[in-house]
Amino acid sequence: MNDDSIDKEKIEMLLRRLPEREVPPALHERIMDSLPTGTRRQSIPWKLRSCWERLMLLAPMPMKAGAILAMTAAAFWLGKEVGSEKAIKNIAFFHENSVITAAFDYGNANQMSYMSLFEDENNNLLRDFMYQTTVQEEKPTVMNRWSDTFFRNMENLPEDTHNSPGTAITGTDSVLFLLNLAHNLADSGNYHGALHQYEKVLRINPQEQTALYNRATSYYHLNDKIGERQAFISYLNHYRSGRWAYQAVAYLQRLGVFDYQVSMIGGRKVVVNQTVLLGSQQQARQDELERLTNYLRQPTAGELHLVVFYKNDLEKSRAIATQLKQRIDSILGKNRGLPIRISWFDEPAPIQTAEGGKRELEKGLFLFTQPSTQQRRTI
């Protein structure tokens, strides 16, 4: 759990989102069969089907797994019997059941099928096939490389179009498909594979929010601290508010990166890069302030409080606070109607590291808005 206290609104929200269990697949049939309607079919196929449905409803997991395994074996045997490449292709692609694909001699069948589909320019089938094969493969293989080639080709296409009429895959489709693939790989614990797919999404759309965030969490699961830090920073370069942005700040602070902080501005939480604001790079500071002023223009902004601290340097704290106030003033313009109150001090701020140790932040900035004195009087 995060550190937020659990209030009633949060509980109400969680109650609304409580997950529900799926109904056992044969329950509907079972209910309908039990109705006293007198229209039940009593033929032998019906009896067999009914028996199977009851088995699937009542059987414990090992029995279900056994039954599925038996079906897979039967499908495999059938595939062998039929023999020809064409039959393999038809069975593998026109039945969506992945166990059938998995049953084939992996390397050869997949490669032959891929080549065949590639030659046919049948991209929808090819996409489904890539999905099945890359999900199943743990390590980069020939199929993974082909999948890369396939998606690289797709990335080079004009937006939302495809060169194969009638089987168009849009850019949006590709992103959704790749995201789903990445999520599934992450689900199965294959974070390297997931990362690979999130990167592909970001090559198509560098601002794709889900991919940006989950790329970072994949690094986190892989315990790749450098990758994690860069990925979360990259997320914050694009998004500064919303739950994921606040989480990204928390993750970064856990990694010892205290450049970002969450500030309450104009009635909403916004992530601010304090290092940039206190730094000497003029353009970066200007960009950061402009980003901030979007929130400061909200009518609910009230008055802005800006507090700067530098350890043992009161004069510098004051100078920076004054400078920032002037810059915000100039960006907002004369008719801003937003009082800015500045303060400064020369004490470091105590912080706690992820390991629970105490540290000092030698310089920093607090930024927040609150209702103005006049607004408070009206309340």
Of the listed pieces 9-17, 154-162, 322-330, 365-373, which binds another protein according to CB under 8 A? Answer: 9-17
Residue from 86, 243, 268, 376 binding another protein (CB under 8 A): 243
- Which residues make Cβ contacts (< 8 Å) with residue 68, sequence separation at least 6? 99
User: Two tokens at 232?
Assistant: 């979360």
* 355 scored as a contact of another protein (CB under 8 A): no
CB 321 within 8 A of CB 274: no
Measuring CA to CA, which residue among 349, 274, 342 is closest to residue 306?
A: 342
Q: Residue 200: left if φ>0, alpha if ψ -120 to 50, beta else—which one?
A: alpha
Answer yes or no: are the C-beta atoms of 305 and 372 closer than 8 Å. no
Three-state secondary-structure class, residue 262: strand
| Residue listed under structure tokens 């001090």 | 345
Mask for 130-169, x = binds another protein (CB under 8 A): ----------------------------------------
Residue carrying structure tokens 């004069």? 315
Using the contact rule CB under 8 A, the part of the chain among 5-13, 78-86, 133-141, 360-368 near another protein is: 5-13
- Of 1, 44, 226, 379, the one binding another protein (CB under 8 A) is 1
In the complex with another protein, the residue whose CB is nearer, 180 or 207, is 180
Does the protein bind another protein through residue 34 (CB under 8 A)? Answer: yes
Which residues between 38 and 77 bind another protein (CB under 8 A)? 39, 57-58
Give CA 238 to chain center in angstroms.
14
Size of residue set near another protein by CB under 8 A: 43
DSSP conformation class of 17: T
Phi/psi zone of residue 281: left (φ > 0), alpha (ψ -120 to 50 degrees), beta?
Answer: beta
Q: Which member of 101, 110, 132, 217 binds another protein (CB under 8 A)?
A: 217
Q: How far apart are CA 338 and CA 304, in angstroms?
A: 7
What are the beta bridge partners of residue 76? none
Work out whether 356 is an interface residue with another protein (CB under 8 A): no
Our finding on whether 12 is near another protein (CB under 8 A) is yes
If one asks whether residue 274 binds another protein (CB under 8 A), the answer comes out as: no
Applying the rule CB under 8 A, the residues between 278 and 337 that interact with another protein are: none
The residue (of 58 and 115) whose beta carbon lies closer to another protein is 58
* Chain residues in the site for another protein (CB under 8 A): 1-2, 5-8, 10-12, 14-24, 27-28, 30-32, 34-37, 39, 57-58, 180, 183, 186-187, 210, 213-214, 217, 243-244, 247
